Structure 1
Amino acid sequence: MTESELVAENDSVWLSSKKAKKELKVSDCHLMHLRLAGKLQFRKEGNRFYYLIPAVNTTDENLLR
């Protein structure tokens, strides 16, 4: 994924799993559960997952439950 691909529409950014976990302050397991529940938009490239996260992250309590 190139640097220009990281910024998406609606002021959101594609983050790697590691960066998404840090930004959302969740564990690997919880990030996976959010993905499986359809609460996070993601894409998979090879063995890597990228998550679409709002650029100005106001932690959404409903998302993290």
Structure 2
Amino acid sequence: MRVIGLLLAAGSARRFGADKLLARLPGGDTVLATSAGRLVAAVDAALAVVPAADHARARLLDELGLP
């Protein structure tokens, strides 16, 4: 069986007060990079959902292996 993962990265994080996906974790990586890396490592294929106008986030995810 093939497992496909979906990373939902389209929220505005209003309650967090900032873009939480770009917040740095203790190791220095962002929440987005850490989540994407762990997802890619755990599944056969992965896709990310980002806002249509957020080209920077889409480019970063593409570099991390998530189209």
TM bracket (short chain): under 0.3
TM-score of the superposition, structure 1-length normalised?
0.26
Give the structure with the larger helix fraction. 1
Larger Rg belongs to:
2
Give the structure with the larger strand fraction. 1
TM-score of the superposition, structure 2-length normalised?
0.25
